[in-house]
Structure 1
Amino acid sequence: MILAGISGTGKSKIVRFFAEAVGANNSNGRFRMLSVKPDWNDSTELFGYKNVTDKFIPGVLTEIISEAIENKDLHYFVCIDEMNLARVEYYFSEYLSLIESRRRDGDEIITDGIFSGSSYNSLDYGKLHLPENLYIIGTVNMDDTTFGFSRKVLDRANTIEFSEVSLENLFLENEHFDESGNLTLNNDFLKSTYLNVQEIEEEYRAYAGEINKKIIAINNILKKSKKHFAYRVRDEILYYMVENKRLALLDEDIAFDYQIMQKILPAVNGSEAIIKDILVDLYNVCIGKNAVLSETDYLEDAQAYLKDAVYKKSAAKIIDMLRGYKYDGFSTFWF
């Protein structure tokens, strides 16, 4: 998961608070905060390296993974703070590739070995894999000192934006906080239910088919500028929506609105004329009708339809992206 937004909105704090709420903290070693350095250009800081005496020196993430495998019922959280101070693909490529090898081994979800075929392999760490009870969250600030994200990163993550700030809320009432102690939950509480669409239960397959029609309609819009996605994104949206349906968590429109924000819009950017057309078409999906937007006053026209939008958060974000296109000549989710 990626938490994005302006500096100071509490992105890293909310990761810490969530981890502590389910029993993972610094004291028990089940919550770790890693700060990215701008000079990270490979994965040695995370996974390890061999020193001049050919001794394997494990990285921070390797040590956490080793502990998590020994305690499979407990959650382990890693917050990679300001993860885009260096190019994520440079230092995190092994992890991004390994999560694609997830499969079931009995009741456990495992991956290929971290050091399979690697010269870093060691007797102590050679059989490690990414465990099902490890959760990695990255926080990002988008400014002139940071790097953007490739599709390889975005397709594998859900992006949650933190941009709304209410400075009026100066003091919070103490009764909102429960200081009686933390919960200790089994990993099944957060563990992935589905690894492929064939695992979706028969009773939810018709529903998944209806959601898939919505996904196809959006992907056909994105194809106009080759921004369309493939099976991975489709499947993860389906898992999210079926889980939401199965557990009766959110209204369906609210849940799908979140998925447009988290999985679709972060990958839409550019300065080409077709980008504006794509954003307008996506906006029409979000408001549930074909709006007539003028060539010159399309921002004002779009704003007028916003109050009746089916997917309000996504519609509002698209207006922001159109504003960037109109005034800066470049549209992006990240600003």
Structure 2
Amino acid sequence: MDASTLVFPAISAMTALAMMMSGIAVFFQIRRDRLPDATRLENVRELRAQEERLLAERRAELSIVEQKIQDRDRLIAQVSALEERHKAVQAELASLDAARREIEEVKEQAAAAAADLAIATQELAKKSAELEALDAQLNPERLAEAKREVEKLSSERAALETSLPSLRAERDSALRSIEAARALQAQHAALALELSRTREELEGLAAKKGELLEVEASLRSRRDETVRLADELDRSAARRNALLSEISDLEDRVRQLQDQDEERAKLKVELDEQRLLRNQLAEQVEYLAARKERLAAETGEGGGADASALLEDLTRLPTSLEAPATLRHASRPEQEALYAVTKYLQDHRLDYSARTVDAFHTALKINDNTQLTVLAGVSGTGKSLLPRRYAEAMGIHFLQIAVEPRWDSPQDLLGFYNYIEKKYRATDLARLLVHMDPYSSSELHDPRQPRGDHMALVLLDEMNLARVEYYFSEFLSRLEVRPTYAEASDERKRKDAMIPIDIRGLKKSVSLFPAHNVLFAGTMNDDESTQALSDKVLDRGNVLQFAAPREFKKPTGIQNVERPDQAQSFKSWRGWVRSVESLGAANRETADAAIGTLAEIMEDCGRPFGHRLRDAILAYVANYPVRGNGGLDVRVPLADQIEFRILPKLRGIDIQSHGNAFDKLKSLIGDDLSDQEFAERIGDLLGKQENGSGLFVWRGLTRRG
């Protein structure tokens, strides 16, 4: 018989035995898992010790089996040698049956050794699996948790057992009180029966006077006793009711304890469910993490995308910055620049007074204090032309943005990330801010064409077609928290004013800084299709109200006007900006007195203002240009600020109930500031509107000169 014919049955038997033992192990493992932790782990140390001893015995048996295997291998080798020898001398040794029987016995011993090896291997695998299961069950955290639960249950059980004797004693006392009360009731019933019999005897002994007196005395004593017994019965009844109430409370307490036991069992079940849920959530977290990685790879958030391709649309030079491209390096006086603006407007046949031009120019200069200049009025009064022509004449880049009624977020101003194209779709305003920022790195703009010393004027045309708070409020807040121009070079101080841009796929974030060389203005029409400005916008802007024209001049043709080809230097522009300290003592005293009066008027009207508006008014007065050789007359810019900052906040005020406040305002303008034209315009509007809606609305003033 060949040795290979013995190995295959041994292997098959070992496989079947291993599968059977695995099934038994799985069955016992399932039963062990269903047991409570306290039950399964109660004798775990003894089990482990037994298994370790059994494992040691199995290892000793294994060593014996291994020795047998070695003997088997040696015998198999001897059998092979004998077979070869048998084949060589088979013809000569045909009569050697004894040798053949010996060979057969050796083969049988080898087969038996293989079977023993299979059994020992199977038992070793079983014990190894049991040892691993015991090691898993002996997890310190799991044992500690099980011990804590067992200790908690033991303490609760001990507390209940401690409280049971007192509850039983109270129950026995209550039962004894109930029995005493029942005895008193029976005694009371007997006394009542006896009282009835006594009354019958009194009716039969009516003729016996002497006996009646004795009976009467006896009855009186009995009556007193009855009253006493009745009182005692009442007290017993009250005590019985109290005892019944205590018994009811004790029963409620017992029910509460039982409910607590049930609740504790429910909590244990919930704990098991929560553990299962935690495992499920862990699997979900792993799945979501893998999904996040896939989505990051799909959207380019992993940082593998080309930064230049992602920034291509944002860093493109906007058309508004192409001309004028040459910077005016030579500084010029402010009066010369304003004269050039006035001349340029006249050449375009635009009839703006010098005071209107000076007011618009000053409102733009003080963008440290007032971030927005609004030109309001009816359509067709030249609100959009003034900023455009002023920028052209001054050498300032001009960007006009048409506001749409659907705008409802800052993305409408700066752009958005297109998830389909995986690119940031920038607006001209975002591109302008990139190239106008003198502090940004050269990665965002071409260093060969710097625009950091240029200036730009951004006009939000018909800005109140949509609610300004929806699309411009955050931008306006960033402008307000900008550091002063002297401190803007400090990156830490620019941090709060930075506007983050959502560009997926970049390794580092991109933010835009609205530098001081970018000026902001807006136009708004006074009609039923527009939204009113909120106090937040009014507090941070000058509102120049354009009045409806009273006369219409004949239009004249416009000759070819050459546009200046040099850009205004921002450093030169900053040389025109003056601090509030430049005001003389007399001018400062006049300004403070006017502001104090305005504060009282606005307080009376229920529209008070704070330090921000006071500082903005003083900055406007200090930066108002001086034309000619005369000095600064602070009354003119103070009157402007009443028109631009105060009157818009009085919109909707009831005229009749605030007559004194308006009288003070007209007196301040006409008497203290010597602007009779302005005061008469307010009086004219008050008279018309009082007879109309009764609410004040400023309609603007057309000035001459």
Shorter-chain TM-score category?
Answer: 0.7 to 0.9
Change (3 A) 1:102 1:220: same
Residue of structure 1 aligned with 2:480, choices 84, 100, 120: 100
**Count of residue pairs brought into register by the alignment:** 305
Alignment deviations for residues 280-335 of structure 1 (CA, whole Å, 9 cap, x no partner): 2211211217xxxxxxxxxxxxxxxxxxx812353244225413233112212258
Corresponding residue number in structure 2 for 1:17 = 389
**3-state DSSP of counterpart to 1:160:** strand
SS of 1:240 mapped into structure 2: helix
Measure the CA separation in 2 of the matches of 1:230 and 1:324: 29
Query: For 1:104-133, what per-residue CA distance to the aligned partner results, in whole angstroms no more than 9, with x for missing partners?
Result: 3647578534335x7668668723211111
> Which has more radius of gyration?
2
Q: Report whether the alignment pairs 1:47 with 2:414.
A: yes
With structure 2 as the length reference, what TM-score do the two structures score? 0.40
Would you say 1:65 and 2:433 are equivalent positions? yes
Q: Cα deviations across residues 118-176 of structure 1 (Å, max 9, x unaligned)?
A: 7668668723211111111101111110011111111111111221526443245879x
3-state SS in 2 of match to 1:288: helix
- Larger relative helix fraction: 2
Distance 2:596 2:427 in 1: 41
1:134 matched residue in structure 2 = 518
Distance 1:183 1:6 in 2: 34
Conserved? CA contact 1:256–1:311, under 8 Å = no
Q: Once the two structures are superposed, what CA deviation does each residue of 1:208-231 show, in whole Å capped at 9, x if it has no partner?
A: 343122101111111013212111
Which AA in structure 2 matches 1:187? F
Tell me which residue corresponds to 1:281.
Answer: 664
Alignment of 1:19-34 (within 5 A): 19-24=391-396, 30-34=397-401
CA RMSD of aligned residues (A): 3.1
1:331 is matched with which residue? 696
- On the 8 A contact 1:286/1:311 being kept in 2, the answer is yes
Give the 3 Å change call, closer, same or farther, for CA 221–96 of structure 1 in structure 2: same
Question: 1:205 Cα deviation (Å)?
Answer: 5.5
Kindly indicate whether the alpha-carbon contact (under 8 Å) linking 1:76 and 1:133 is maintained by their aligned counterparts in 2. yes
Counterpart among 379, 398, 416 of residue 7 in structure 1: 379
SS of residue matched to 1:11: coil
Matched, 1:257 2:639: yes
Helix, strand or coil: the match of 1:145? coil
Deviation at 1:178, TM superposition (A): 5.5
Partner of 1:149 in structure 2? 533
Alpha carbons of structure 1 residues 269 and 167: separation in structure 2 relative to 1, 3 Å? closer
Residues 249 and 100 (structure 1 numbering): CA distance in 2 closer, same or farther, change over 3 Å?
A: farther
Residues 280/202 of structure 1: CA separation in 2 closer, same or farther (3 Å cut): closer
Q: Aligned partners of 2:583 and 2:621: how far apart in 1? A: 14
- Using CA pairs under 8 Å that are at least 6 residues apart, name the structure with larger relative contact order, 1 or 2: 1
The aligned residue for residue 470 of structure 2 is 90
CA contact (8 A) 1:260 1:314 kept: no
Query: Which of 311, 314, 328 is residue 675 of structure 2 equivalent to?
Result: 311
2:446 is the counterpart of 1:81: no
Task: Give the gaps of 5 or more residues in structure 1.
Answer: 25-29, 290-308
Tell me which of 179, 185, 195 is aligned to 2:562.
179
Q: Is the 8 A contact 1:21 1:182 kept in 2?
A: no
Question: Percent of aligned positions with the same letter in both sequences?
Answer: 28
- Contact (CA 8 Å) 1:287, 1:311: kept in 2 or not? yes
Amino acid at match of 1:132: H
Whichever residue aligns with residue 11 of structure 1, its letter is K
Question: Distance in 1 between the 2:548 and 2:636 partners?
Answer: 18
Contact 1:47–1:62 under 8 Å retained in 2: yes
The whole-number CA distance in structure 1 between the counterparts of 2:573 and 2:528 is 35
What's 1:297 paired with? none
Picking from 553, 557, 561, the partner of 1:169 is: 553
Measured at CA, do residues 274 and 34 of structure 1 come closer, stay the same or move farther in structure 2, by a change above 3 Å?
A: same
Structure with the higher fraction of residues in strand conformation: 1
What is aligned with 1:241?
621
Distance 2:552 2:435 in 1: 43
